[in-house]
A and B are shown apart, each in its own frame.
Chain A
Amino acid sequence: MLRFILQKLALIVPTIIGITIASFAFIRLLPGDPILAMAGQHGVTPARYEILKEQFGYNLPIWQQYFNYVAGVLHGNFGVSLATKRPVIDEFMTLFPATVELALFAMLIAVALGIPAGIFAAIKRGSWFDQITMGVALTGYSMPIFWWGLLLIIFFSGYLGWTPVSGRIALNFFFPRVTGFMLIDSLIAGNPAAFVSALRHLILPAIVLGTIPLAVIARQTRSAMLEVLGEDYVRTARAKGLEPGRVVGVHAFRNALIPVVTTIGLQVGLLMGGAILTETIFSWPGIGKWMIDSISKRDYVSVQSGLLLIGLIVMGVNLLVDILYAVINPRIRVQ
């Protein structure tokens, strides 16, 4: 097992190097200029532009800029945001808990609904339940997130008044940040009403963010179950006279779970990278929204280091999934 983990870790190194090159190049390949973006409507004179370019080190050859960046990262220095002048790592750590909280809650909804829906659809293959579930899943998968989010806000928050429109917690609750997770911090502050408020604020964005993973998980579970239900050992189990619940729940589901866990892991990895549209619609102060703001400001430092940090986290989650996968399915370890 240790060897398996070490092998996976060794693969991560070239990936990280790849990410540093890609993130460094990506923001520079976009048209636009960080100095002009900062200057506002007055613009800058050509002479001053040169001074600022030198000040930021953008006059250096591109390879040297890259090596300075990598050298900084290796020393744990991710640079200072061009826009806010704060260390990028501080900004990231401030915003990351919001993204995690939303992503986990969204995945909770997706898993709690997606897996049972997939299982029932598989068992009742071809039934009206199957057809409706898969139809809804396809619709969910194809839904334009921005439109879907606004629709839910207008209906549930605007028309019915059941949920708050946006934000993480009602503004009259104000307690200091300890973990950055609103649900946990409200409990630490000993304020149950704040906890309820934070939970209410999570519902709509989590539904919106969970929609696509829910659809993917439901479809994946259904097809994995269908495949397993056709296997000989399931037929044998049935022939032995085992009760149907046990056949599906133990013999079939455990085996069908393997591809589903991979799917869930990949989805969690993706969501950890920040949910750009959902965070923007719901004014959710997470890293997806932060990345978009940084790109629009041509904040080279925030974008290149932010992408690297996101990449590291996605890889970390994927590594965990690989390990989990090996635990569930011992054959993987042998291979």
Chain B
Amino acid sequence: MHLMKTLLAATALVAVMGGSVYAKQLVFCSEASPAHFDPGPTTGGNDFDASSRTIYDRLVEFEHGGTAVIPGLAEKWEVSADGLEYTFHLRPGVKFHTTSYFTPTRDLNADDVIFSFERQWKQDNPWFAYLEGLSWDYFQGMDMPKFLKSIDKVDDLTVKFTLTEPNAPMIANLGMDFASIVSKEYADQLAASGNLADFANKPIGTGAFTFVDYQTDAVIRYAAFPDYWRGKVAIDDLIFAITTDPAVRAQKLKAGECDIMSYPAPADIDGLKADTNLQVLEQEGLNIGYMSYNTTVAPMDDVNVRKALSMAINKTAIVDAVYQGAGQVAKNLIPPTMWSYDNDIQDTPYDPEGAKKLLADAGVTGLTLDLWAMPVSRPYNPNAQRVAELIQADWAAVGVTANIVTYEWTEYRERGKQKDRPGAFQIGWTGDNGDPDNFFATLFSCSAIGVSNYSSWCNPDFEAAIQDAKKVSDQAARTALYTKAQEIFKAEEPAMTIAHSKVFMPMNKRVVGYTMDPLGIHRFDNVDVTE
């Protein structure tokens, strides 16, 4: 009987597919399988591409190709004068997806919004642990439990977020993937039938694409949502062909097996650019590769020693050799495309003689220290081992001996954040939401020591500036505070900023309208294909 049913379903599916031969199809060669399709508890960019950026929407969105926040499911919002109350007015008539496994009976309302956050926040919510071993890492990582006091329904289309203290990055946080709005009606239906795990494997959202099918580790299929509140998108079928090896992705693109691919290997970019059927878009990434000095361990507790170590390094040579034209020297912690970037900052100069003098003045001779190199390639640092070798040579020229050390990736970060970790530690960051706070506070606030402040650096003036910037909502005032923070950072040199990298996106010339995203997400809602 089961076989019979399957056969019937097969026939029906083949019939449906047969009817859609002329549909506009876009194939994206993606780099990894998603863990599942619930964007709340996942953390990877590949997870978000497959769920939040296709199936779901948020109250606010980042504009295409930028980080400015624009209305999403909320058409408008107000912030109270004290910065403690955010009132969102939901767009009326927003439909959830109708699929073979769910038919919504109502439009989006305040209950969905409240549910979307309470499931991540309240431990007594039945959905808090709906999958075994679930943890809401981004909700926690963005400090939402600390800032949220309550989320209340004012009426069906109005939701009020009350905070415990002012938090200017709040709006940007709500544009992030973890803040995707899910359907409470669907959740209730699954709870009633006891199939809670389906929430992560058969997703329902309001986004541009409905989920069709996932063949584990191979193919994800989506179809354009005809009732999308912004109007149906140009393409009909979106397919993710999961292809882990970048060289194979490039071959598939060249062979026409996919239309667009993520993360080409640097060595393949020239070949892809030379292919007349292809175009390669590029953009400055919203990232920073840097090297943290542990400011609590001698002699790097002395700012002059830190300055000297940075002055000995030829950053331009590193960027030329390792980033191969796909990066630029970084003088600030935040990238130039981010608001509040201070272009007046003078970078620590490359000056080996000056470095020797500073070290001698500080009474440091025959210095030997650990130089940490990440074991993995990241967009902000494609080859940390090579960077370490170049720095090692530069330091040798000023009499500093570096021992290059490395560990497995999670072990590396774990050891790196130890407060008494010796040496200089290469690491980096890719922005989550386009807010400077996401760089300054996440990486160098006092409370991030032992978590992601690898310099164990807690400077009262810097801390005051970035904490004040969180509390005011006026962007000009925040810019002034972040400018001050950048000046202190450069003067104190808790880390040497190395480079901001470029991101490439190769695609077939028949793909039109694709915009590169500074946050590194891949969105296809504004893409079309020409035949």
Using a CB–CB cutoff of 8 Å, the interface residues on chain A facing chain B are 30-33, 36-46, 48, 52, 55-56, 80, 82-86, 91, 94-95, 150, 153-154, 157-158, 161, 164-168, 171-178, 188-191, 280-283, 285, 289-290, 293, 298
Tell me how far the C-beta of B449 lies from the nearest C-beta in chain A, rounded to whole angstroms: 11
- Asked, given contacts A40-B43, A80-B133, whether A95 binds B248 with beta carbons under 8 Å apart, the answer is no
B141 surroundings in chain A (CB, below 8 A): 39-40, 42-44
**Residue B411 at the A interface, CB < 8 A?**
yes
Q: Is the CB of A166 within 8 A of B133?
A: no
**Which of B158-166, B251-259, B309-317, B365-373 is near enough to bind chain A?**
B251-259
A-B contact pairs, 23 of them (CB 8 A): A32-B411, A33-B414, A36-B410, A39-B137, A40-B137, A40-B138, A42-B141, A42-B442, A46-B450, A55-B133, A82-B133, A85-B131, A94-B216, A150-B247, A157-B255, A161-B255, A174-B13, A191-B14, A280-B245, A281-B245, A285-B216, A293-B217, A298-B410
- Asked, given contacts A175-B13, A189-B14, A285-B215, whether A43 binds B413 with beta carbons under 8 Å apart, the answer is yes
**Which of B1-9, B332-340, B387-395, B479-487 is near enough to bind chain A?**
B1-9
Q: Is the CB of B452 within 8 A of A42?
A: yes
Within 8 A of A (CB), among B232-271: 239, 241-245, 247-248, 251-252, 254-255, 257
Q: Is the CB of B251 within 8 A of A80?
A: no
**Residue B103 at the A interface, CB < 8 A?**
no
Tell me how far the C-beta of A292 lies from the nearest C-beta in chain B, rounded to whole angstroms: 9
Summarize B's interface: helix, strand, loop or mixed: mixed
**Residue B490 at the A interface, CB < 8 A?**
no
Summarize A's interface: helix, strand, loop or mixed: loop
- Asked, given contacts A38-B137, A283-B245, whether A175 binds B217 with beta carbons under 8 Å apart, the answer is no
Once the chains are docked, how many angstroms separate the CA of A32 from the CA of B411?
Answer: 5
**Residue B132 at the A interface, CB < 8 A?**
yes
Q: Is the CB of B36 within 8 A of A86?
A: yes
Q: Is the CB of B451 within 8 A of A43?
A: yes
- Asked, given contacts A167-B257, A176-B6, whether A285 binds B132 with beta carbons under 8 Å apart, the answer is no
Q: Is the CB of A282 within 8 A of B248?
A: yes
A158 surroundings in chain B (CB, below 8 A): 251, 254-255
**Residue B407 at the A interface, CB < 8 A?**
yes
A-contact bits for B120-142, CB 8 A (1 contact / 0 none):
00000000000111110110111
Within 8 A of A (CB), among B392-424: 407-411, 413-414, 417
Q: Is the CB of A171 within 8 A of B219?
A: yes
A281 surroundings in chain B (CB, below 8 A): 245, 248
Q: Is the CB of B137 within 8 A of A84?
A: no
Q: Is the CB of B408 within 8 A of A30?
A: yes
A-contact bits for B1-38, CB 8 A (1 contact / 0 none):
00100110111011001000000010100001101100
B132 surroundings in chain A (CB, below 8 A): 80, 85
Once the chains are docked, how many angstroms separate the CA of A190 from the CA of B137?
Answer: 46
- Give the residue name and chain of the B residue nearest to A282 (CB): B248
**Residue B218 at the A interface, CB < 8 A?**
yes
Q: Is the CB of B215 within 8 A of A32?
A: no
Of listed A40, A153, A157, A281, residue having the most chain B CB within 10 A: A40
**Residue B87 at the A interface, CB < 8 A?**
no
A43 surroundings in chain B (CB, below 8 A): 141, 413, 417, 451-452
Tell me how far the C-beta of A311 lies from the nearest C-beta in chain B, rounded to whole angstroms: 21
**Residue B277 at the A interface, CB < 8 A?**
no
Q: Is the CB of B35 within 8 A of A289?
A: no
A167 surroundings in chain B (CB, below 8 A): 218-219, 241, 243, 257
Q: Is the CB of B254 within 8 A of A37?
A: no
Tell me how far the C-beta of B268 lies from the nearest C-beta in chain A, rounded to whole angstroms: 11
Q: Is the CB of A171 within 8 A of B239?
A: yes
Interface range, B side: 35 or more
Once the chains are docked, how many angstroms separate the CA of A176 from the CA of B429?
Answer: 41
**Residue B297 at the A interface, CB < 8 A?**
no
Q: Is the CB of A86 within 8 A of B414?
A: no
Q: Is the CB of B248 within 8 A of A166?
A: yes
B411 surroundings in chain A (CB, below 8 A): 31-33
Q: Is the CB of A165 within 8 A of B248?
A: yes
Tell me how far the C-beta of A274 lies from the nearest C-beta in chain B, rounded to whole angstroms: 12
Q: A165-B251, A165-B252 are in contact. List 10 more A-B contacts (CB 8 A).
A: A36-B413, A83-B35, A95-B216, A154-B251, A164-B255, A165-B255, A166-B257, A171-B257, A178-B3, A290-B217
Q: Is the CB of A42 within 8 A of B137?
A: yes
B200 surroundings in chain A (CB, below 8 A): 85
- Asked, given contacts A32-B409, A285-B215, whether A86 binds B251 with beta carbons under 8 Å apart, the answer is no
Q: Is the CB of A44 within 8 A of B137?
A: yes
B255 surroundings in chain A (CB, below 8 A): 157-158, 161, 164-165
**Residue B221 at the A interface, CB < 8 A?**
yes
**Residue B213 at the A interface, CB < 8 A?**
yes
Q: Is the CB of A95 within 8 A of B243?
A: no
Once the chains are docked, how many angstroms separate the CA of A42 from the CA of B441?
Answer: 12
Once the chains are docked, how many angstroms separate the CA of A42 from the CA of B134?
Answer: 17
- Asked, given contacts A48-B140, A153-B251, A157-B251, whether A174 binds B17 with beta carbons under 8 Å apart, the answer is yes
B7 surroundings in chain A (CB, below 8 A): 178, 188
A38 surroundings in chain B (CB, below 8 A): 43, 135, 137
Once the chains are docked, how many angstroms separate the CA of A36 from the CA of B43?
Answer: 11
Q: Which 4 residue pairs spanning A and B have beta carbons closest together? A: A40-B43, A42-B141, A285-B217, A85-B131
Once the chains are docked, how many angstroms separate the CA of A189 from the CA of B254?
Answer: 30
A30 surroundings in chain B (CB, below 8 A): 408
A168 surroundings in chain B (CB, below 8 A): 218
A293 surroundings in chain B (CB, below 8 A): 32-33, 217
Once the chains are docked, how many angstroms separate the CA of A168 from the CA of B242?
Answer: 11
Once the chains are docked, how many angstroms separate the CA of A176 from the CA of B219?
Answer: 13
Tell me how far the C-beta of B138 lies from the nearest C-beta in chain A, rounded to whole angstroms: 7
Tell me how far the C-beta of B426 lies from the nearest C-beta in chain A, rounded to whole angstroms: 14
**Residue B195 at the A interface, CB < 8 A?**
no
Q: Is the CB of B241 within 8 A of A283?
A: yes
- Give the residue name and chain of the B residue nearest to A146 (CB): B245
A-contact bits for B178-217, CB 8 A (1 contact / 0 none):
0000000000000000000100110000000000010111
Once the chains are docked, how many angstroms separate the CA of A191 from the CA of B13?
Answer: 12
- Give the residue name and chain of the B residue nearest to A287 (CB): B217
Tell me how far the C-beta of A80 lies from the nearest C-beta in chain B, rounded to whole angstroms: 4
- Asked, given contacts A85-B36, A178-B3, whether A41 binds B27 with beta carbons under 8 Å apart, the answer is no
- Asked, given contacts A85-B131, A86-B36, A178-B3, whether A283 binds B244 with beta carbons under 8 Å apart, the answer is yes
Once the chains are docked, how many angstroms separate the CA of A61 from the CA of B285?
Answer: 44
A289 surroundings in chain B (CB, below 8 A): 217, 244
- Give the residue name and chain of the A residue nearest to B130 (CB): A85
B254 surroundings in chain A (CB, below 8 A): 158
Once the chains are docked, how many angstroms separate the CA of A290 from the CA of B242?
Answer: 13
Tell me how far the C-beta of B370 lies from the nearest C-beta in chain A, rounded to whole angstroms: 17
Tell me how far the C-beta of B35 lies from the nearest C-beta in chain A, rounded to whole angstroms: 5
Within 8 A of A (CB), among B497-524: none
Once the chains are docked, how many angstroms separate the CA of A315 from the CA of B483?
Answer: 66
Q: Is the CB of B3 within 8 A of A42?
A: no
Once the chains are docked, how many angstroms separate the CA of A68 from the CA of B338?
Answer: 50
Q: Is the CB of A285 within 8 A of B218?
A: yes
- Give the residue name and chain of the A residue nearest to B218 (CB): A285
Once the chains are docked, how many angstroms separate the CA of A296 from the CA of B17?
Answer: 37
B218 surroundings in chain A (CB, below 8 A): 167-168, 283, 285
Once the chains are docked, how many angstroms separate the CA of A274 from the CA of B205?
Answer: 36
- Give the residue name and chain of the A residue nearest to B36 (CB): A84
The listed residue (A32, A33, A176, A191) touching B9 by CB distance below 8 A is A176
- Give the residue name and chain of the A residue nearest to B411 (CB): A31
A95 surroundings in chain B (CB, below 8 A): 216-217
Q: Is the CB of B451 within 8 A of A91?
A: no
